[in-house]
Amino acid sequence: MTLATADADGRVSARIVLLKGVDADGFRFFTNYESLKGAQLAAHPQVALCFHWKLLREQIQVRVEGAVSQVSAAESDAYFASRARGSQIGAWASLQSQALPDRDTFERRVAEVEKRFEGAAVPRPPHWGGYRVKPDRIEFWYGARYRLHERVTYVRDGGSWSKGLLYP
């Protein structure tokens, strides 16, 4: 899904992340808390998500907006433990979104982390974990011929949701 974030000055940034879970509490993804997105989420904990399914119907888009918060350490630990060892090593070795002078520097860091945890389980780095987006607005966009698309919105209103339509 596309994840759009903004900093305190309103500068916007968007990137793809993997949706790792969705339930009544919201949409979850995992990342480096010290990355660019992590800094933006700390400064401005509101996001937009966007999904695009080109092959469904005449295309479907789902847009989500809401507040974001970190998931519990226990939840991040559980997901981190399920990842491939190489990904666990990478999470320690990567200073995500910081300038990297050359590829060798990163490969050296990977080798150092491999050595550090040789023969042992790799614990979750404190700077790595999940976020949950609690939606307060969701829009389903269904493509139709001649651009006569359908747009259905759900807006959270206290404890319930109100449904509406938009012109395409």
Helix (H, G, I), strand (E, B) or coil at 44: coil
List the structure tokens of 72.
């519990």
The Cα 162–Cα 150 span in angstroms is 17
Of 7 and 150, which CB lies nearer to ligand FMN in the complex structure?
7
Smallest separation, CB 156 to ligand FMN (Å): 25
Catalog residues that contact ligand FMN under the rule CB under 6 A.
13, 15-18, 29-32, 35-37, 96-97
Helices assigned H by DSSP within 5-102: 36-43, 73-82, 85-93
Of 127 and 149, which CB lies nearer to ligand FMN in the complex structure?
127
Of 29 and 141, which CB lies nearer to ligand FMN in the complex structure?
29
Smallest separation, CB 4 to ligand FMN (Å): 10
Smallest separation, CB 92 to ligand FMN (Å): 14
Give me the phi and psi of 129, to 5 degrees please: 180, -165
Of 1 and 155, which CB lies nearer to ligand FMN in the complex structure?
1
Give which of 72, 67, 53 is closest to 142, Cα–Cα. Answer: 53
